Amino acid sequence: MKDRVFSFQGLNFKTELRLALLLIIPGLCTMLGILFGGDLLFPNIHFLKSVAFASIMTIGVCMITLRQLSRLVKEKTWIINIKDNQFHITFRNLDYQFHASEIKMIKNLGNIGLRYLTIKTADNIIKIRVGDTGLAPFSSQKDIDELDAFVQYIKPYINKNFNKKELRNIINTTIIPNFGVYVVKGEKIKYSIINKMKPWQVIIFILGIAGGVMILLMTCFIYYIDHK
């Protein structure tokens, strides 16, 4: 690989997780406040309408809150320096240095306006998050293009030295450039239960979890109505 430097704005997994956890309180307050407040002010309104309205408002509040929190995050610059097949990746106080031959896995997933890039070596797992959507407002389209350019730049090396993992649970594997999970040749490709599922099975699994959460929420709400 020729020498090259890539720079873009984004987050790492830990920072993204912290932001997501900070949304729990305003999200719950909005959801429960609308449900309970709606029952007090409009006792005759249908429960499902209250849930639908509360869900929409909760998503809206979370998106606005997340955008404000993202603006407070400082030092969001990722720098990837490649020289003589040696990678030097920095983000805040994180500093990773390794040779291309040390990479065990590269995972490039995402959607329109969102990228999840993971680089795994024997010593480190580097998780890069770049997004320009309502639920990932910490980058710009220019940053997404720069990350895509980086993956495209190392793609010839990937094609030569890695095997591509079969993703049976993904409906559209061309939604972003170079979408896929690549495992270095010689390493065994492992599949989790989710990996072995087909897209419709994953959808049912997610709907089952969502249904369970909804049933729990409805049970608490009905209990509140019966005992108020």
Neighbours of 66 (CB within 10 A): 20
pTM (predicted TM-score)? 0.78
**Does residue 48 have a pLDDT over 80?**
no
79: tokens are 């720098």
**Secondary structure tally for the chain: helices H, strands E:** 6, 10
- Rounded distance, CA 77 to CA 147, Å? 12
Q: What is the mean pLDDT of residues 157-172?
A: 87
DSSP 123: S
Q: Range with the lowest mean pLDDT among 119-123, 126-130, 172-176, 187-191?
A: 187-191
